[in-house]
Structures are given as structure tokens and as C-alpha cells.
Chain A
Amino acid sequence: MAEEHYLELSENPVQFEHASSVNNVFFDEANKQVFAVRSGGATGVVVKGPDDKSSVAFRMDDKGEVKCIKFSIGNKILAVQRTSKSVDFINFIPDYPHTEFSQECKTKNASILGFCWTNWNEVVFITDQGIEFYQVFPDKRSLKLLKSQSINVNWYQYCPETAVILLSTTVQGNILQPFAFRNGTMSKMSKFEIELPVVPKPAKLSLSERDIAMATIYGQLYVMYLKHHSRTANSPSAEVVLYHLSREGSCKKSHVLKLNTTGKFALNIVDNLVVVHHQSSQTSLIFDIKLKEPDCALNIHQPVLPARSIHPYRIPLSGPAAVPSQPPVPCQLYSSSWSVFQPDIIISASEGYLWYLQVKLPPTVNLLQDKGKLMDFLLRRRECKMVILSVCSQILEVGEKGSLPVVATVFDKLNQVYKDYLEAEQSYTQAMESGPSRGSAAQKRPVRTQAVIDQSDMYTHVLSSFTERKGVSHKFIIAVLMEYIRSLNQFQITVQHYLYELVIKTLVQHNLFYMLHQFLQYHVLSDSKPLVSSNQELILRRRVCGSVDAPHLPLSPSRARLPRRAGYVHRFSVSLLNCVLSGVFAAVSGEHVPTRTPAVPGHAEASVHGQRRDHRGSAVEAAGSGCAQIHPQRRWPRQRVCAEVPGRGAADRRPDAVLHGV
């Protein structure tokens, strides 16, 4: 069975001491740090971050049970919440006093639900009666209230990437109030309501913190609501509803992800995909909100792929609890001790692991039969290049009936992305050339993502090996190459010379000179470098068969018929000629002639006059019998003038009569 697990846990998890009665574990989403606090900090606090730099170990006095512990951005200040009234701060900046200082919440009788760092020295307290925005002065060991807002809060969520705090308000908890923080300012965004499946009577808190998550998908902030099924409402299965939260304007319900099942779920965002874990079936689903369902006006999405479990994971030997002699233990996936954090973090506190969830693209190839949809899916993924190229090879390999339209669709999709990149690049270059005077907002150089598959990628990884594969009909090869050239032309992308060379080589190998001829005639194959008129000697007159006829060239029996079939004259400009020549040489010697860079007229002249080597290694004079020759001095045509020609029949005998009837 082919590999089908398209999700996996990262190979190098962050390891920490697992949670126990003496060891409390905390996770900070902003810095992605895990805090292992032993005995309230007295026997040590070990902080593990995604890399070694963000890992710290220290001791602090045990002043009661720690409820929440977080570093400010850059590990400058540590904030610890031990009571519901106040938060304690410890400087971690060298040369600053290390003694703790404390800040109580301003609102009387309020209890602190939690706090979030929005900058290295800015912190927000969320209390059940509102939020308070402070600036911390580590040197003075004091805080200054910047702004506060009173509002009844049930619970809150924080999205560190966008510095947006979401508060659940009202009795039912389904009115959400977002606040955005930036450089010392706090701005209230417009609130919105989550539609509850059932409205409880009497009113009670019905929207759980667990069912809401915030994440950025394709650069946009979304609030994800896990809407459980309910028997009374008309929803047979659970779904995820995405609310698009724009900085200005209102929050709109934008996407619905159909889960087609019920039970306990958890959400992750990986590579802009929404991953929904289902605990009871121990499987996960993925959704791509940019993948349009053809028949849905509203953005209702079905899973991209069938549900599959995360790839089985074995706890490595070097694990903290493992004895060297023991084999790696299979890790229990979808365990109830797992905690899932945004965007892609899974923590098993009982085992002391933090994993990043990853999407593996190769298994998706076999799970998604619709190649067009597969391409759309792959083109939006981060590490997609090699997978896309392998899909291209695979489609060509199968070569079953009716695959040509599929090939065409795939090429068009690839070239759309390629074209978009080229255009962005071009407008950037133009903007740079026009100088920085206009719009100092300095246009960013477009990033070349892996999805940009250019002609050389296609050539190197797909087309060149495809054309050399045995047992593929030349008709199919030419059809595929023409389809690619058509697609490039459709997007007005200049076709690279080596693609023409590939076409020419294939045509020459199969004696299809007339086809070649017609392609040239309609400029389907054309010179990439225009010929300059003053140097028109570059036009060559030759017979292609001439060079094959040359006695010093080895002829395999199958090629011996070439001259007869190619019984008409071909003329080529130099760079094209080079192409054809290498095609002929390859056909004759059975060797692949490496791609030559498009010929510059001057160089081309040299190479035609110069010597070529055939596969036996002996020098072959290119300008030998029947081979290409550049006319060094063109003979001007004879010009004959015959006015009133004698002996020219009618014109001579009856000069007047001919006028009649014209």
C-alpha cells in the first residue's frame, strides 16, 4: 500500500520534563516556549523554545502556585501570575535590578483571567470586567496604565501574530469583541456575533473557549468556530465556521468547512490548510479555503482529501524517560492528554513533547484523483516544487487515453503562477528603474515561491527525461511538447530555446521533417534572437539531409532512410540551424547533445564554421560536402531585362491585340 499519511509530527520535537504533581507545565503561544516550573520555581524553571536561543533555565522564589508564566518578546521581562489580583514581573535584562515587582489590576473586585505580552515592554491584563493595557518600565520597576476598557469578559483568546485579543462577552458568550494592539495603542474593532446552533433558555454561557480559535490563513486573520452538531437544529454533523476578521470593517462569516461527522475535534493551521483532528476516529481532515467547490455559491468546503491518521510516531531512544536498551515506543496519537495550539503545535504534557504538525505532500498525489484540483492544491503549498514536478512526470508516464487534456490543464495552471511571478518581477524592475522618487513605500521584490515552476525546471525534471524514455510514442511526445509551448504562448511567456530544441530533436529523430517545416512556417518554432538585417549572410541554405548524407557520419540502419524522406530543402537561421544540427547529430549518434545556449549570431557563425566531433571522437568538418555553409559573399542575381521581347509569342506578334479582354 502506498504511503497515505499526509500529516506527520515533526522529527525533532521540543522535549521538556513532563507534567507531574511537582512540575507544572505552561505554554506561551506568543514565544512558543514551554515552561516547566518545579515546585513553584524554587527548584528551577526550565524554558524550552523552538530553538536553543530561546531556551532558558533559572530559579525563582516560591511565592505560591504559578497560574500563568510568560516572557515578554525577546525574553526581556518575565511575568508570573500567582493570584487573581496581581501579576509579578522579573527583569531579565542584564544590569537591571532583578528583584520582583508587582502590579495589581486597577478595577476593583475584578479578577485577572490572564495576561498577554504585545511587545517587549507592553502587557495586557484581561480581567472578568475588562482589559487593561500597561507599559512596563523595568528600570523603575513600575508599570503605567496606557488604556483600559471595561467590559464583561467570560474568556479571551490571543493571536500573537496579529496582536489581536478576542473577548467573549454577554451571558451566552457568543458576542465576540476583538481588540488590536500596535505600538502602544489599543484599538477596538467591531464586535460580532457567533450564531449558536441552539439558544439556551434560560440564558447561560454557551460558547466555550475551546470551540474558538484564531489563526492567519493566507495572510488573513480568521476566527474559527467549531460548531457542534445538535439534534434540535438541522445540522446532522459538525462543521467549522470561519469568520474573516479584517482590521477595518466588520467581521464576516466567510467559509464553512463540512466535517461530516460528530465528536471531539481540535484545530490546527499548517501551511495555510485548516487541519481538523477527530479524536474518536483518530483521523484528521484537511481543508483548503482557496480550493473552490464548483457548485457552491457560498464558500462551503468539503475535505480536500479523505480522512487519514497522522503518521505513526515513535518516541526516540534519547527521550528523557527512555532507557537506552529499550526500542522506541510507539507514541499514542490523538491522546486525550494532547493539547493543541495555534497554528501548528501539539503538546503532550504527560509525555513531555512539543511537536510541530507538518503536511507531507507526496501521499496527497495518490489520494487526489482530479489532477487539476491536485495542482491547485499543491501550488499553494510551501514545499511543493519537487512534488509538482513528480506529478507532471507521473501524468506523462501513464500516457493513458485522454490524458492530453489533463496535461493541458496542468500546464496552464503551472504557467498561470509562472506568469504572475514574471509580471510581478517585471513591474518591480520597472519601478526600480524609474527611481525611488515616486512612492517611497519601496515596492517589495516579489518572492519566488516554490510554486513558480519555470521552463528550465520543466525541462530538467520532466520533459528531457520524458522525451528520452523508451516506449512512448513520438506522437504523444510531440503532442505534450506542443501543449506546453501552447500554454506558454497563451500566457505570453517567451519560450526558451531548449524547448524548441527538444521538439526539433524529436521531430528529426522520427524523420518528421514536414512537421518541423510547418512549425517553422507558422513561427511556432522561432528564433529567440531576432536576426539583424545588416548581417543577412546568416541566412543559410542547406539540406538537412546533406549532413546525414555525409559519408563520414555513422548511419545506423534505422536512420538510413532519412535522406529520402527529407527530400526538400530546408533553410535555417543560424541559431535554429544549430538546433536542427544537434538534433540530427543526436539522431545519428544516438547521443543526447547537451542544450546549447541560444546562439548569438557571431558565435553561431563560428560554431558552424568550426569543427564538430562525431561520437567516435574524430573531427567532422561542418562545412564539408553538403553541410551548412554561410555565403561569405553573396552573388547578386543576374538581372535580365527583356523589353519588347523578340520571339515571345503573343506579345511580339500582336502587341495590341492582347489588351483586349483584360
Chain B
Amino acid sequence: MLMISPKMASGMQEKQYTPSLLSFFIYNPTFGPREGEEEKKILFYHPSDVEKNEKIRNVGLCEAIVQFTRTFCPTKPAKSLHTQKNRQFFFEPEENFWMVMVVRNPMIEKPNKDGKPPTVEYQEEEMLDTVYGAVVRQCYSMYKLFNGTFSRAMQAGGVELLMQKLEKFFYRYLQTLHLQSCDLLDVFGGISFFPLDKMTYLKIQSFVNRVEESLSLIKYTAFLYNDQLIWSGLEQDDMRILYKYLTTSLFPRHSEPELAGRDSPMRPEVAGNLLHYGRFLTGPTNLKDPEAKFRFPKIFVSAEDGYEELHLIVYKAMSAAACFMISASVELTREFCEQLDSLVGPQLTLLASDICEQFTINRRISGPEKEPQFKFIYFNHMNLAEKSTIHMRKTASVCLTSVHPDLMKILGDINCDFARVDEDEEIIVKAMTDYWVVGKKSDQRELYVILNQKNANLIEVNGTSPLFGIKQMYVILTKSTPSVPVISSSPYVDPCLFFSPFSFFFITLEEVKRLCATQFNNIFFLD
């Protein structure tokens, strides 16, 4: 789990350690209120090989801190505890159920001469509560997605069942936490939307509606392309966590073998001329296999009366993936899967190539991708749309960023500042010699830009660059011909939805007025 920083390679004698998970536990203080029964409170403890008394001690400490701080502010219990060596995060997802994550602070190990033990310097300031607080909440959401709430398990089979479920789920899940690469995006927990023109979008709508109509068992459908969302029939919060699962776990697991050349997605057996590339990512890998099991993962989503349990069928053809959700009370049969395969496969293949074609046309129009002058993260609270040019493509194991962690830290700091007030704000930070970091919050949107301008001073940065002093976020989308800008102030125009056919930037109101006055004929207003 330890990541060694590049400084190691550059020959310096320091060793840097990134944050790592020390322990993770879940307890309920009401399960063992009497002395001597403290162990009963503990529902899950990682690492499991910790001595029993230590477990009890740690849990007790957390309980005490929460109880103690409650006296100061009954409505907002403590969220985290900072110590020199580590940091603890508390989260009460359901009444009396507490999740606690203990993370060791990043540290630098400086070797001393004469064989003395190295000096360890903890960097307790480097970690952000918001980021890791979000990680804990995500842990719970993910558990809930696949298992339902804690109290559901309690009702179904008491503490024992709950403990089993927790053990089964978190044992694997905790291994996939990569605490060293958690950053601002974890705070947002956003969804990346695929940029698409209206007509293709409507075609997808039509496809979804037809499938849902002819296979009436399907309750909800979600549609993704290139790991980016296009349509969700689920509610936003459910989609947010399902999207997280799909893009960080399910899709990478399936794309890695593909990339490695194994398991070609092209089906060897082609019936008639219904050539299609569709296949199930969940459930049976091969429909023709007589031994195939038609079991699909089950997920829990919110419904009118609490939650509902659904089968999750993920079906993929080329880069297009459709998730079909069917009530868990229905037994899924081979016939149904075959029917779905023969209905969805050809259509989805066709649709995928349509989208791909559209996408490449747009790419070609927008010209060769230039090295952007700046890097940015964009997030819209309203539709959870996010876009980052800082992050590389996510894989199952790592999430790479192209900027230094310290810059990411500054972004996180700015985000914390924004969270404190409701008003629109702009923060400009001169980070290091040549870096400027600009954070901008306007209505529901946040934009963070990292700019590397040599020798720029504040006045220049604020005065000349189109990025600064934005009163309201105007999005200018420049089509292939630079003379035809499209100006929009609509909250629904997200740059992330237009990024591939357009390049975009933000401008000031004054600039908009000037453009309107001088070249009105060539401007489209989009809303």
C-alpha cells in the first residue's frame, strides 16, 4: 500500500509515505451497554487480527469522543479526530451505527547518520477531512447499494447476519480503497456525462423505451458510453453510487482482459447475419453454455416506500453499456437472457457504432487536440456533472493525476472554503513559482483551474486572462470555426457535455456585451 514518491528516485535520502489505512471498524454502542459485554458492540473490525482488548479500547475511545463532543453541539456530532500520527473519521450512517476509519498521516522518513533510527516527520496538515470523510460515506453507500441498510440485515437475520454481511463485503472492499489517490473528485462524487448531440441522445432514448416496452420486466435502465453516463432511469443518488461502482470496479475489471488481448469480445458463434458484439458483463459469460448460471448481482435503490431490491444486468456492446434493472422478486431464466441478448445485442451494437461515428466526426471538426493551456476540474452540484483534465483515465487499481499532490491539496482547501459559505466566491492562489490556482464558485458550479504562466503577477492574471474576474459563468463554446462562438449562461450547458465537439472557455459579462455589440450575427445563444 505504500507509495514512494518520485523524490526517492531523484536520489534524495528521504522516504515519503502516503496516507494509509490503519483500521476500519463498525460498531453499535447499544448492543453491549453493560460492562464486560463491550465486544458485542463491535460488528466489524479491520484488520481482524487485532487483539480483542485493543479492539474494545479503540471502539471505546471513539464512543467516548463522540459522546463527549455531543455535549458541545448535539446536532452535529464529531466528524474527525486529528492526532499527530493518524486521523480518525466518524460517521453515523444509521442511528447508533458508527463507522470509523483510521488513516495514518503521510510522513517523511529522514535517515540519520551513524545508524541511528531515522527521524519520522508526520505531515498531519496534508490530509483533508472533506476528502476522507467522503471516502467513509462512500463505503457506506457502496455497502448499501449491494446489501441494503444495516437495519434491513438486522430485521432479516439479527446481528449475526449483519456481521456476516459486513465481513463479506468490507473484507474485499477495503482492499480496493486507494487512500493515497483520494482527492477532490471523491468529495464531489460526480458523474461524467458523455457529450452528445440531441438527435443521437433521442435515439438512445428511443432504444431504452423500446427495450423497456418489449421486455416489461425491466424497471430501470441506465445507458453509458465510454464509461460516461448518458441516461439514467434511476434516481440521482442511486445513480451516483452505481456509476461509481461501474466505472471504478466493474468496467475496469472487464476492460483489462480485453486490453490484454485475451477474451476477445467478438463472439465466435454468429447466428444468421445478426452479427453483434453484445455480451453480459454480469451474469452468464456464455449463453450457450448449458451449465451457465443466470444469477445477477442484486442492488438496493431507494423507492417510494424505503428501498427496492433489483437484479443488475449489465450488457455491453463495444463501448456502449446498458444496465437493466429488474425487480429481485422475479426469477431470471435462460429464456429471458436469450431474449434480451437477441433483442438488445444488435440494436446496441448499431447504436454504439452510431455514437462512435458521431463522436469521431465531432473530434475531427474540433481539430487535433491541442495541449490545453490550463488544467481544470469542473463540478456542477445540480446535475453532479464533473469533468477533469487533471485526472487520467481511471483503472481498477490506480487513479492517476497529472499534477503534483500539493496542487491537489490546494484545490481541496479552496473547496473547503467554498463549502463554508453559500455565496459565490472566487479564490486565486499563487502556489509556487509559476503556478496559479484559481477557484471559482458560481451558483451551483465550481471550477478549479491550474495555470502555469511564467512571471505573471496578480494584476495580469486577474486582468488579462479570460479566466478571471468572471462575474457569472458564461460558457463560450467555440465550434470548429472560431468565428462562431456560442454563448450560454444556462446552468444546463455544461462544458463537459460539449467538450469534444467544442472547445470552451469562460468569459466576463463585459466581454459578452462587447461580443454582442461587435459580432452579434455570428453568435449563437444557447439555452
Contacts and interface: CB of A to CB of B under 8 A. Distances in A.
A388 B193 CA distance: 40
A643 B409 contact: no
A428 interface: no
B442 interface: yes
B308 interface: no
B199 interface: yes
9 contacts: A402-B213, A475-B212, A479-B212, A489-B199, A521-B492, A522-B497, A533-B513, A643-B458, A662-B404
Contact of A643 (B193, B383, B425, B428): B428
Contacts of A634: 472
A483 B206 contact: yes
B527 A573 contact: yes
Interface in A8-57: none
A541 B410 contact: no
Contacts of B430: 643-645
B198 A524 contact: yes
A529 to B, nearest CB: 9
B346 to A, nearest CB: 14
Given A539-B490, A655-B433, 6 more contacts: A404-B214, A483-B209, A533-B525, A565-B235, A651-B429, A659-B433
Interface string B207-235: 00110111010000000000000011111
Contact of B205 (A517, A524, A534): A524
Best-surrounded residue of A522, A636, A638, A659 (most CB of chain B within 10 A)? A522
Interface string A271-285: 000000000000000
B443 A541 contact: yes
Contacts, number: 189
Contact of A526 (B202, B489, B527): B527
A656 B432 contact: yes
A101 interface: no
Given A475-B212, A521-B497, A569-B381, A489 B492 contact: no
Contact of A514 (B236, B428, B431, B435): B236
B392 to A, nearest CB: 14
Contacts of B489: 531, 533, 536, 539
A524 B444 contact: no
Contacts of B458: 641, 643
Contacts of B126: 649-650
Nearest to B12: A660
Interface of B: 5-7, 10, 125-126, 193, 196, 198-199, 201-203, 205-206, 209-210, 212-214, 216, 231-236, 239, 304, 381-383, 385, 403-404, 406-407, 409-410, 413, 423-435, 441-444, 458, 462, 469, 471-472, 474, 487, 489-492, 494, 497, 509, 512-513, 516, 525-527
B198 A523 contact: yes
B444 A571 contact: yes
A519 to B, nearest CB: 9
A640 B492 contact: no
A534 B474 CA distance: 12
B18 to A, nearest CB: 13
A296 interface: no
A490 interface: yes
A476 interface: yes
Interface in A517-557: 517-518, 520-524, 526-527, 530-534, 536, 539, 541
B431 A651 contact: yes
Interface residues of A, number: 65
Nearest to A399: B213
A650 B429 CA distance: 12
A254 to B, nearest CB: 34
B214 A658 contact: no
Interface in A624-648: 634-645, 648
A570 interface: yes
B7 A527 contact: no
Contact of B433 (A523, A648, A656): A656
A637 B428 contact: no
Interface in A354-405: 401-405
A137 B457 CA distance: 102
Contacts of A402: 213-214
A533 B433 contact: no
A568 interface: yes
Contacts of B441: 637
Contact of A482 (B205, B236, B304): B205
A624 B183 CA distance: 40
Given A490-B199, A517-B383, A482 B206 contact: yes
B516 A533 contact: yes
A572 to B, nearest CB: 9
A515 interface: yes
Given A523-B198, A569-B444, A534 B513 contact: yes
A413 interface: no
Q: Which are the 8 A-B pairs with shortest beta-carbon distances?
A: A637-B424, A479-B209, A486-B202, A650-B406, A643-B430, A658-B406, A662-B404, A661-B6
Given A489-B202, A649-B126, A642 B428 contact: yes
B431 A401 contact: no
A485 interface: yes
B256 to A, nearest CB: 27
Contacts of B472: 536, 634
A408 B213 contact: no
Nearest to B5: A661
Contacts of B193: 521
A517 B206 CA distance: 17
Nearest to A650: B406
Contacts of B304: 561
B424 A638 contact: yes
A480 to B, nearest CB: 8
Nearest to A561: B304
Contacts of A641: 427-428, 458, 462
B463 to A, nearest CB: 12
B205 A570 contact: no
B490 A476 contact: no
Interface in A402-425: 402-405, 408
Given A531-B527, A637-B442, A649-B413, A486 B203 contact: yes
B210 A522 contact: no
Contacts of B216: 401
Given A642-B429, A658-B432, A573 B490 contact: yes
Given A539-B491, A651-B406, A404 B201 contact: no
Contacts of A404: 209-210, 213-214
Contacts of B6: 660-661
